[in-house]
Structure 1
């Protein structure tokens, strides 16, 4: 591929990430009104936006440094899109807190997504630990902290997807004992850290 073609493709991917993130943020606001109760929490959870960011960045297949920037941008745009939908309905949603959270967390999610396909199994293990840990952490939070007001179906599904990613990576790529240990222990540590941070923020 010629450099000009590669650059053009990269900016096309950037444009797609921007548009998809903003529109997804808008959609999650309205999704709270039409999603079934069993999975309604998708539209009002960190894991929902994280999943959108991971999927769009996995599609974009950009380098880690670029993925870090796009990860932050995706989270901020999701927040702004949600706020825009609220305003369209005559409501007010202040996006500043979660925009800041997105700027802080988004780069790590972006890098982790890029590292899933890295040649280095250590990077792949670290990326797996972060993404699986986020999903497992929120799944645990949902089942233990907001179980009285939300359906357990979504939180269980999030946990299963997180563990599915971990198991799939262990089977396909992370076969060394130390590498596998990093992924497993890292997942648990990330899940614990997620719960501490989420409790500090008061959830969503």
Structure 2
């Protein structure tokens, strides 16, 4: 089945559906932040980076963007996910008597909003919208985040964090790229664009982490 076959929103929805979706997004993002805060102190070492890395938050943005049915709601829900997760995280962290830097709060909220907008747009594109080139780029966003962050972990911090986690994250990113290319993209052009964009985005992220 072509992605375009599932692109459009339902013609009619029960009253209150939109409000329930918004509530779901708000609650899920805030709860994710709470989980991240506790995970940083109680998670076993092999998965401890899960609660200190960006990929899970970007994935959260993508998951919540899926709740939307139109371009604007995909983008808004994605953009809300990261900042709200950070609110949940930093409020929980402060309540647990750990120090909180307002500078870091603002930085990560802004980063979460930017990545969330990108994921919201990617979700919309992967539902069969936009040009073939843009759909290929959209398929690269989350895989590139995982691969770029995995490369950073393996190259720069594997002496202090579990390398198996970073290796697994990289494999997961490549597997996701392969799945999206097979299931959500049509033709060699879109798939080639997705692979190239993943490589470029991953390198850019790797360089940003090293800056």
Normalising to structure 2: TM-score of the pair?
0.85
Matched, 1:136 2:147: yes
Give the superposition deviation at 1:74: 0.7
Whole-Å separation in 1 of the counterparts to 2:79 and 2:208: 18
For residue 126 of structure 2, the aligned residue among 116, 120, 124 is 116
**In the TM superposition, what whole-angstrom CA distance separates every residue of 1:52-109 from its partner, at most 9, and x where no partner exists?**
2222333x14322222122121100111111011111112223111112122222012
Match of 1:50 in 2: 58
Matched, 1:10 2:18: yes
Match of 2:81 in 1: 74
Task: Give matches, 1:70-109, under 5 Å.
Answer: 70-94=77-101, 95-109=105-119
Higher helix share: 1
For residue 31 of structure 1, the aligned residue among 39, 53, 57 is 39
Unaligned runs of 5+ in 2: 1-9
SS in 2 for 1:18: helix
Matched, 1:189 2:196: no
1:157 to 1:129, Cα distance in 2 relative to 1, 3 A: same
Whole-Å separation in 1 of the counterparts to 2:81 and 2:184: 28
Match of 1:21 in 2: 29
Q: Is the 8 A contact 1:128 1:165 kept in 2?
A: no
Normalising to structure 1: TM-score of the pair?
0.88
**In the TM superposition, what whole-angstrom CA distance separates every residue of 1:131-189 from its partner, at most 9, and x where no partner exists?**
11111111111111111110012212221121111111222243422211100000001
Unaligned runs of 5+ in 1: none
Give the superposition deviation at 1:194: 1.1
**In the TM superposition, what whole-angstrom CA distance separates every residue of 1:115-141 from its partner, at most 9, and x where no partner exists?**
222255444322111111111111111
Q: Give aligned pairs, total.
A: 198
Match of 1:169 in 2: 180
Whole-Å separation in 2 of the counterparts to 1:65 and 1:196: 31
Q: Is the 8 A contact 1:116 1:123 kept in 2?
A: no
Give the superposition deviation at 1:4: 6.1
1:180 to 1:4, Cα distance in 2 relative to 1, 3 A: closer
| Alignment RMSD | 1.9
Whole-Å separation in 1 of the counterparts to 2:11 and 2:77: 23
Q: Is the 8 A contact 2:49 2:161 kept in 1?
A: yes
